[in-house]
Amino acid sequence: MAWKPPINYETNKDLLRDERFYHLLSKELNHLSRDEVFLIYVAMVQVVAQELRRHKVVRLPHLGDFALVKRPSRPGVAGPHQVMLPEHEVLKFYPKQRLKRYFAERQKHSRVTVSV
């Protein structure tokens, strides 16, 4: 069975949709127009894609690293047949330690303790 992300798109109304994303980004950039914000964002995506093609790794300041990592060949199932899946590259994201610590710290404070 194919892997499915743990996000329920139908019931999760808090997902950041395109229009809201560009609106929030525009607000952060002193209300640049939506078109200008879109061009900045697309340029960033293109730079990331080019760096991944060239160097297989790209570092985004304050966020983390995207890397193309080789996945070794392994056995798999295709219908009733067992097949050998070839070696291929997969895209991985490795967040910065600071970002991981920030969200770990937020979880500590949101827990409820129950005394017995």
What pTM, to 2 d.p., does this model score? 0.71
Ranges assigned E (strand) in 5-87: 57-60, 64-71, 74-78, 81-85
Give per-residue pLDDT as tens, 29-61. 888 898 999 999 999 999 999 999 999 999 999
Contacting residues for 65 by C-beta, under 8 A, at least 6 apart: 57, 58, 59, 93, 94
20 has a pLDDT exceeding 70: yes
Read off the pLDDT band of 111 (50, 70, 90): low
| pLDDT, mean of residues 56-79 | 93
Read off the pLDDT band of 63 (50, 70, 90): very high
Location of structure tokens 């697309």: 42
Q: At what angle do helices 18-28 and 34-55 cross, to 10 degrees?
A: 100
Of residues 5 and 107, more confidence is placed in 107
The pLDDT, as a whole number, for residue 113 is: 59
Domain locations along the chain:
13-55, 57-116
Hey, which residues does 83 pair with through a beta bridge?
76
